[in-house]
């Protein structure tokens, strides 16, 4: 049985029997779970599945020579199940490809489309409390006129702020194989749909072992939190002509970090030696990616444009001479 994103239940692809997740739960209550691991000898990616799901190729490089073994993997705290089906993902991919008039035809071939895979990407969700102390020199400008004379007065204000903010479930992908920029653009996820991790949700999908611990990700996430907190404090200052920050201190307190799995539809395609990625938020349907330009199509458009321009010039020439 595989997880059906529409019914949010397990479904047999042969007889259409459905079963709720709770009935099919494997009862793994400790901190470890048994999974199948597929190691890609080409790019080194480690793909994880439940024991009944087979990986036929690597999501990252397309290699089909995968090395299989079984391991005990750290159990995620929670996950967001897929809400977008594979058929919906394929339709969105085709629509996305049509936006590129010069997209190579091979990108929309059936063999390419079938490589779209559902991947549970490892993330850390962080909770932070912050305190910002900020001092700024702010000005207001007044203009007075007496007869033919104009007086410009600049008043300076010593502005001080103490701002406390709370940030909950700030995500950072923990996969070294995933492009951080693409994962950031797939946000936001609706964390109201987070569910306690249960193995049946993995059925029919791939996952990946996290590459970085929560501690190893702290530098990246704290830079992001610091920017949020600083911006929140500065936005409390308004109504001045100019604002110059002369002192700022941002204090961060990491109150929690949780390992979760988030759903992403993924397709990697190599064209002329370069890797192109299509990624879709498996919960919201948001699409991120880049499309290549077919040299043959580009040449065809150039020739057609030159030919049309030549014909128009000939017609115009016949009209005036």
Cβ atoms within 10 Å of 201's Cβ, excluding its own: 26
Candidate from 37-46, 80-89, 190-199 with smallest mean pLDDT: 37-46
308 and 178 share a domain?
A: no
222 and 258 share a domain?
A: yes
238 and 275 share a domain?
A: yes
- Residue 72 banded pLDDT, cuts 50, 70, 90: confident
Number of domains composing the chain: 2
162 and 300 share a domain?
A: no
Candidate from 121-125, 134-138, 280-284, 287-291 with smallest mean pLDDT: 287-291
| pLDDT surpassing 60 at residue 304 | no
pLDDT in tens, 14-65: 777 888 877 666 555 567 778 888 888 888 888 888 777 777 788 777 777 7
304 and 242 share a domain?
A: no
6 and 94 share a domain?
A: yes
189 burial type by CB count under 10 A (0-12 exposed, 13-18 middle, 19+ buried): buried
| pLDDT surpassing 60 at residue 302 | no
186 and 89 share a domain?
A: yes
- Residue 88 banded pLDDT, cuts 50, 70, 90: very high
111 and 239 share a domain?
A: yes
Mean pLDDT, the chain, rounded, equals 83
302 and 219 share a domain?
A: no
| Three-state DSSP state, 259 | strand
Distance CA 226, CA 20 (A): 42
pTM flag (> 0.85):
no
Closest C-alpha to 120, from 20, 1, 210: 210
pLDDT in tens, 273-282: 677 788 999 9
| pLDDT surpassing 50 at residue 298 | no
Q: What is the dihedral of CA 5, 9, 10, 14, to 10 degrees?
A: -70
Distance CA 175, CA 122 (A): 6
43 and 154 share a domain?
A: yes
The strand pair at 287-289 and 274-281 is best described as: antiparallel
Pairwise pLDDT comparison (39 vs 79), residue with the higher score: 79
174 and 26 share a domain?
A: yes
Candidate from 104-118, 134-148, 238-252, 276-290 with smallest mean pLDDT: 104-118
Look at residue 299 in the predicted model and tell me its pLDDT: 45
240 and 319 share a domain?
A: no
DSSP designation for 246: E
- 212: domain range? 2-290
Look at residue 295 in the predicted model and tell me its pLDDT: 46
Look at residue 26 in the predicted model and tell me its pLDDT: 55
């Amino acid at each position: 049985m595989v997880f059906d994103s529409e019914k949010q239940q397990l479904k047999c692809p042969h007889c259409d029997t459905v079963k709720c997740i709770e009935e099919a739960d494997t009862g793994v209550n400790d901190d470890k779970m048994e999974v199948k691991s597929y190691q890609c000898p080409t790019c080194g990616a480690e793909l994880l599945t439940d024991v009944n799901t087979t990986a036929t190729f690597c999501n990252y490089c397309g290699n089909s020579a995968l090395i299989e073994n079984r391991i005990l993997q750290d159990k995620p705290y929670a996950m967001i199940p897929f809400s977008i089906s594979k058929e919906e993902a394929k339709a969105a991919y085709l629509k996305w490809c049509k936006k590129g008039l010069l997209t190579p035809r091979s990108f929309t071939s059936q063999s390419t489309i079938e490589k779209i895979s559902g991947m549970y990407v490892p993330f850390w969700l962080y909770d932070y409390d912050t305190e910002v102390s900020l001092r700024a020199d702010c000005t207001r400008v007044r203009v007075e006129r007496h007869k033919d004379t104009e007086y410009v007065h600049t008043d300076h204000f010593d502005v001080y702020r103490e701002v406390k903010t709370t940030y909950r479930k700030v995500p950072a992908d923990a996969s070294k194989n995933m492009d951080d920029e693409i994962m950031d653009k797939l946000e936001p996820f609706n964390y109201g749909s987070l569910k306690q991790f249960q193995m049946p949700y993995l059925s029919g999908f791939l996952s990946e072992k996290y590459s970085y611990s929560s501690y190893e990700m702290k530098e990246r996430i704290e830079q992001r939190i610091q920017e949020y907190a600083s911006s929140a404090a500065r936005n409390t200052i308004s109504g001045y002509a100019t604002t110059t920050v002369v002192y700022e201190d941002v204090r961060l307190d990491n109150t929690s970090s949780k390992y979760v799995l988030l759903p992403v539809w993924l397709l990697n395609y190599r064209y002329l030696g370069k890797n192109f990625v299509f990624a879709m938020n498996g919960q919201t349907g948001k699409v991120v990616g880049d499309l290549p330009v077919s040299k043959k199509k580009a040449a065809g458009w150039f020739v057609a444009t030159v030919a049309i321009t030549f014909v128009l010039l000939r017609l115009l020439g016949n009209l005036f001479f």
